[in-house]
Amino acid sequence: MKRLYLTVLLCLACGGASFAQTNAGTLVLRADNIEEILQALTLEEKVSLLVGGAGMTPDVPNVAGYTRTIPRLGIPMTALSDGPAGLRIDPKREGTDQTFYCTGFPTSTLMASSWDVDLMEAMTAAMGNEVLEYGVDVLLAPSMNLHRNPLCGRNFEYYSEDPLLSGKMAAAYVRGIQTNGVGTSVKHYAVNNQEINRLENDARVGNRALRELYLKNFEIAIKEGKPWTVMSSYNKLNGDYTQQSERLLTTVLRDEWGFDGIVMTDWGCKENTVKSTKAGNDLMEWGNQIEIDRILEGVKRGEISQEELDRNVRNLLKYIVKTPHFRHYKYSNKPDLKAHAAVARKAAEESIVLLKNDKDALPLKGKESVALYGLPSVDFVGIGTGSGWVNTEHIANLQEAMTAAGFTLDEDLAEYYRRYLDTQVMTEKMEGRRIDKRHRTEPTIAVRAIERQAEANDVAVFVLGRIAGEGADRVVPDDFELSAIERELLQNISLNYHKLGKKVVVVLNVVGAIETASWKHLADAIVLPWAPGQEGAYAVADILTGKVNPSGKLPMTFPVNYMDIPSSQHFPYTWDMTQGRRGNRKNVDFTDYDEGIWVGYRFFQTNDVAVSYPFGYGLSYTTFAYTKPVVKAGKDGITASIIVTNTGNRTGREVVELYVAAPQGGLEKPARELKAFAKTKPLAPGESETLTFQVSTYDLASFNEAAAAWETAAGTYQVQFGASVADIRATASCKIKAQSWPVKAIW
């Protein structure tokens, strides 16, 4: 580590000093002389470009990584930093009082709940401005692995259980960031769906599930977003590390999908650097002299050909000439954080999901006295942990946001939670532990106190929180399921408030799906803001008062029981009743994706298995009618439209999900699959909008492993317009001719 640090400093010191002195008249990198530069680079210089560093750059301290400079040829360093909910850099620097905070935007799962690609693009346009103005060249995001199982600790960084929703959201994310002239890194490619043993786990997936689910979202993001870079994952896929898989990185990514950027490793390279280089993993991150020597040796021994070496270096150079550092962009270190906070708040408002609203319990008037329960009401989960974290100046909590919205909080109760949190933080400090929400447990409240609070207040709001992040998966007891304390508290709140005819609202401030079936009857309303970023608490308050009409919908299924999910049989940290409370660590070295394509709603809908809340579900304070479905099929696919009318009495937006049910005769198919979606503009009561959808014939195809091809079967396709996967409001059908598309790689 020390050796690496010295190497890095030396390299940067000499790089930094002489870069500025690049002589006029000598050969320097330009966008149009890459081949010439390739000729001029020495072998050592070429290899140094393929091995990135970590941690320190001369101008942006503590970014996640950088590419190396070659001053004599005018090749600058470029800086790479996380992550999905906003730029992650150190907020303080030695020698200056200036701060370098970034905006904590809503996490990806909440953004996917918006089903609004324009919103996503607008939000990431603001996020990308911070990347640019803080001197960073590439944001290491979007993270976009599928929600195969709710326990994956990084699900909040990811979008959905569905590849189309995930792919469209990621593509929009990429476009928004890259409008700033900075890059993105679509990650973690691929099949990185769990954190347990994430560095070594072998994901064993059949070709069909791989193509239709785990690669499909990446395919959409690459083709429609055109990211500058892709990050290979740590894990293996069917026996090969993804960073060493030529099939994945070259045949599929570049030859099939047309990707023309650089591939970098996730942070930590595998031993066989020669294999990674040959496979088409251009940049080793973070690497050091060990990787440099391995590549040098590989070239000298002829294991890496000159063409392979030059191919990767050419990719690097093509990337470098696009970057702000290459353009000598004078970044300000002063992005408009105030304006971006407003963007973050708006994004959260448009994405929050209303799961339950019995007898129009919500909206409240905004003037009520509220007993606000739950430690997360003050210890709010804005973002998850790990590289998905953002150093924001402040994360608003619900106590402050609800007060700002006009509610009067039960001050004794609010003070109780503040003190409890202070004590927990103090204990963590005294014991020398990391200040970490993950270890904080919900305090109990005596029944007598709840009785008093129920009498004194108009309504109870109970905030349930969950935190997770990189490096660990969640567990079922006390995490996917409620803890005994939470359950008892909710029961007591429900009993005592309902006895007096007062409402109980639950706010789910969670980083992944949780169990709701056993307790949802205890609440009148349930609001799901996920981890909504630094301003998200304000957005929750605006939903509670009705200032904002909720329009988010679930990007995944909420099952009744954890074990109802097919992948739970194979998820490494399976909760097994026979194994005791800590669960059962199975499939750690490898994970069998035996459920194949039967992930999420594809399984639940097809097999008619009851769920707590279906995929695509979300309520509004108004109602919508779907009329006049029109579906036309042509040579290129389906064009569909539907008229959506606001039939209620509040302005609101509606997400319409277009599902397709395929004819019999081709491969076995799920009952229906999401093929397109659209969201109305805000519709006033009585107002209508026609939404249109395009589905290409290729989008209808399933993957036939035996034929190594995508195939669209001939026949009559049902086109279904849904308010959720389980609530189809209109249907039309059309005839499609058979078509197939062979692929170049099969596992």
Give Dmax over CA atoms of the chain in angstroms. 85
Nearer to ligand BGC, 64 or 723 (CB): 64
Nearer to ligand BGC, 465 or 572 (CB): 572
CA gap 278, 275 in Å, rounded: 5
CA gap 225, 171 in Å, rounded: 4
CB of 592 to ligand BGC, least distance (A): 23
The count of other CB atoms within 10 Å of the CB of residue 67 is 30
Nearer to ligand BGC, 267 or 710 (CB): 267
Q: Choose among 494, 498, 486, 458: nearest CA to 371.
A: 458
Nearer to ligand BGC, 154 or 672 (CB): 154
CA gap 592, 394 in Å, rounded: 42
Inter-CA distances, 107 with 85, 103, 112, 384, 389, Å: 5, 12, 9, 8, 10
Confirm or reject binding of residue 193 to ligand BGC (CB under 6 A).
no
677, two tokens: 């979606």
SS3 654: coil
Confirm or reject binding of residue 515 to ligand BGC (CB under 6 A).
no
The continuous run of DSSP H or E covering 111 comes out as helix 108-114
Nearer to ligand BGC, 88 or 211 (CB): 88
CB of 82 to ligand BGC, least distance (A): 5
The count of other CB atoms within 10 Å of the CB of residue 342 is 13
Nearer to ligand BGC, 83 or 529 (CB): 83
Contact set for ligand BGC, span 22-41 (CB under 6 A): none
Inter-CA distances, 249 with 82, 283, 305, Å: 22, 12, 17
What are the catalytic residues? 266
Place of tokens 């401030």: 509
Contact set for ligand BGC, span 103-142 (CB under 6 A): 140
Size of the site for ligand BGC (CB under 6 A): 9
Residue 520 is given by DSSP the state G
CB of 63 to ligand BGC, least distance (A): 9
CB of 96 to ligand BGC, least distance (A): 24
CA gap 262, 674 in Å, rounded: 31
Taking CB under 6 A as the criterion, the residue among 115, 156, 218, 267 binding ligand BGC is 267
Alpha-carbon torsion 152, 156, 162, 163, what sign? negative
Residue 278 is given by DSSP the state H
Nearer to ligand BGC, 52 or 335 (CB): 52
Taking CB under 6 A as the criterion, the residue among 68, 72, 187, 672 binding ligand BGC is 187
Nearer to ligand BGC, 41 or 196 (CB): 196
CB of 455 to ligand BGC, least distance (A): 50
Taking CB under 6 A as the criterion, the residue among 22, 201, 387, 545 binding ligand BGC is 387
CA gap 418, 429 in Å, rounded: 17
Taking CB under 6 A as the criterion, the residue among 50, 82, 613, 659 binding ligand BGC is 82
Confirm or reject binding of residue 64 to ligand BGC (CB under 6 A).
yes
Q: Choose among 155, 114, 143: nearest CA to 567.
A: 155
CB of 65 to ligand BGC, least distance (A): 7
Confirm or reject binding of residue 699 to ligand BGC (CB under 6 A).
no
Site string for ligand BGC, 521-540 (x = CB under 6 A): --------------------
CA gap 625, 412 in Å, rounded: 45
Confirm or reject binding of residue 266 to ligand BGC (CB under 6 A).
yes
Inter-CA distances, 503 with 298, 417, 465, Å: 69, 21, 20
Which residues neighbour 330 within 8 Å (Cβ) at sequence distance 6 or greater?
A: none
Inter-CA distances, 446 with 173, 391, 433, 487, Å: 46, 36, 29, 14
Contact set for ligand BGC, span 451-490 (CB under 6 A): 470
CB of 387 to ligand BGC, least distance (A): 4
Which residues lie near ligand BGC (CB under 6 A)?
A: 64, 82-83, 140, 187, 266-267, 387, 470
